[in-house]
Amino acid sequence: EIVMTQSPATLSVSPGERATLSCRASQSVSSNLAWYQQKPGQAPRLLIYGASTRATGIPARFSGSGSGTEFTLTISSLQSEDFAVYYCQQYNNWPRHSFGQGTKLEIK
């Protein structure tokens, strides 16, 4: 089983600033890594797949990087609507998937 670990658990950032979220895999997942955003009471929303490709309609302020075991989601200038929980997910082991435990991005 591939274990995904996200850090930090909670990140406090002011609007307009940059946020950097990390995700580590227990073994290489190549670039088979996706990021999702989830707001309270809502379903997750795909942001990034292939470690760095933005999904349709996702603003350019969201960017992903990394490969192998270390990945980063960067939000360049935080907007009020970006405060949410973010999950990474590996699909290298497809058809079995695993998610990180999430990072809560909160307003500082």
| Chain residues in the site for another protein (CB under 8 A) | 30-32, 34, 36, 42-46, 49-50, 55, 87, 89, 91-92, 94-102
Among residues 51 and 78, whose Cβ is nearest to another protein?
A: 51
CB 108 within 8 A of CB 13: yes
**Minimum distance of another protein from residue 56's CB (angstroms):** 8
Rounded Cα–Cα distance for residues 75 and 69 (Å): 20
Least spacing, CB of residue 39 vs another protein, in Å: 12
User: Strand, coil or helix: what is 27?
Assistant: coil
Q: In terms of CB distance, is 68 or 99 closer to another protein? A: 99
Min separation Cβ 71 and another protein, Å: 13
Least separation, in Å, of the C-beta of 14 and another protein? 26
Of 51 and 75, which CB lies nearer to another protein in the complex structure? Answer: 51
Select 18 or 96, whichever has its Cβ closest to another protein.
96
Give the burial string for 55-93 (b: 16+ CB within 10 Å, else e).
eeebeeebbbebeebebbbebeebeeebbbbbbbbbbbe
24, 5 contact by CB (below 8 A): yes
